[in-house]
Amino acid sequence: MITKNQIKFLKSLSQKKHRIENNKCLIEGKRIVDELIQSGRNIEQIIVSDTFIKKNPDFILFNSEHQYEIISDDDVKKIKNTENSQEIFALVATGGSIDSNLEGPVLILNNISDPGNLGSLLRTASWYNINNIFVSDNSVDIYNPKVVRSSMGAHFYLSNLHQIKNNEIISILNKSNFVVIAATLDGVPHRDISINKKWALILGNEAHGIDREMLHIASESVSIPRLGNMESLNVAIAGSILIDRFIGS
């Protein structure tokens, strides 16, 4: 049985400061909890309502070794982060140690403010098996509920995902021999750029671009030439195009 103090704690995780203080986040939604279970990541607690159990008797949870606790409808209302909650939640640890011995490509997400864009980029990275993701601390919180929902569970497959300061990212890259490439408006056209197998791609804010100190570590820049009349390309779409180009090289 879940106590009032536990409910209070779970509710507090809707705020960034409490997620950071406790190195935990609350995941919500059937599809995302499904991905979490299948990822094999350690789960501290799974919580469901009677309504969810009745509606989803064949859900993966009920055919696994994971234990779960039942929550009342009133308590669901206290901890949910969506208007129409599916009434299934999971508590997972965040953080962990940074692996600075980088193998494979690296994705740097700099000052990405929109949760949907950040989540979509994490999803793309997971699809292309890019496991080294460093997100600047001036970006939206990587465990913001909207980011987690839009990533569709990608967080749980990324082995080296961290949100850290620009100088920490720079320090990691300086210790590696990766070619750092910045996505800019005036870079080499993406179809023409020569890709080293060990690359790190920096994507920045649509309106403001990449922070100056991050641009300074890039040895090359890449762009996607505009063929139509639109003034800009969504960073999640642009990032996906570039990742596909780089991975396929």
Asked whether residue 53 falls in the same domain as residue 74, the answer is yes
User: Residue 53: how many CA atoms within 13 Å on its side-chain side?
Assistant: 13
Considering the domain architecture, whether residues 159 and 237 belong to the same structural domain is answered as: yes
Q: Is position 115 within any domain?
A: yes
Structure token digits, residue 98: 């940074």
> In angstroms, rounded to a whole number, what is the distance separating the alpha carbons of residues 223 and 61?
44
Judgement on whether residues 78 and 112 belong to the same structural domain of the protein: no
163 and 121 within one domain: yes
Q: What pLDDT does residue 212 have?
A: 94
Amino acid at 175: K
How many domains in the chain? 2
Amino acid code (one letter) for 18:
H
Q: What CATH number is given to the structural domain containing 23?
A: 3.30.1330.30
CATH number at residue 204: 3.40.1280.10
Single-letter amino acid code for the residue at 70: I
Dump pLDDT digits (tens) for 124-178. Answer: 999 999 999 999 999 999 999 999 999 999 999 999 999 999 999 999 999 888 9
Range of the domain at 157: 106-247
- Looking at residue 155, its pLDDT comes to 95
Give the pLDDT of residue 51. Answer: 93
Are residues 78 and 124 located together in one domain of the fold? no
Q: Does one domain contain both 153 and 79?
A: no
Domain stop point among 53, 72, 93: 93
- DSSP string covering 127-156: HTT--EEEEETTSPPTT-HHHHHHHTTGGG
Residue where a domain stops, chosen among 35, 67, 93 = 93
Task: Look up the pTM and report it.
Answer: 0.92
Whether 13 maps to a domain, the answer reads yes
| Per-residue model confidence (pLDDT) at position 65 | 87
Amino acid at 111: N
What is d(CA 26, CA 42) in angstroms, rounded to the nearest whole number? 13
**Same domain for 147 and 30:** no
Identify whether 99 is part of a domain: no
Q: Does 50 fall in a domain?
A: yes
153, 231: one domain: yes
Q: Is residue 195 part of a domain?
A: yes
Pair (123, 194) in one structural domain: yes
153 occurs within a structural domain: yes
Q: Please tell me whether residue 71 adopts helix, strand or coil conformation.
A: strand
Give me the pLDDT at residue 196, please: 75
Structure confidence at residue 89 (pLDDT): 96
For residue 198, give both structure tokens. 């060990």
Beta-carbon count within 10 A of 73 CB: 11
Q: What is the pLDDT along the chain (249 residues), one digit of tens a residue?
A: 788 999 999 999 999 999 999 999 999 999 999 999 999 999 999 999 999 999 999 999 998 889 999 999 899 999 998 888 899 999 999 988 888 888 889 999 999 999 999 999 999 999 999 999 999 999 999 999 999 999 999 999 999 999 999 999 999 999 888 999 999 999 999 999 988 779 999 999 878 889 999 999 999 999 999 888 877 789 999 999 999 999 976
Please tell me whether residues 119 and 223 are part of one structural domain. Answer: yes
- Answer with the one of 38, 62, 93 that is the final residue of a domain: 93
If asked whether residues 232 and 164 sit together in one domain, one would say yes
Whether 134 and 164 share a structural domain = yes
Task: Note the pLDDT of residue 231.
Answer: 78
How far is Cα 117 from Cα 148, in angstroms, rounded to an integer? 11
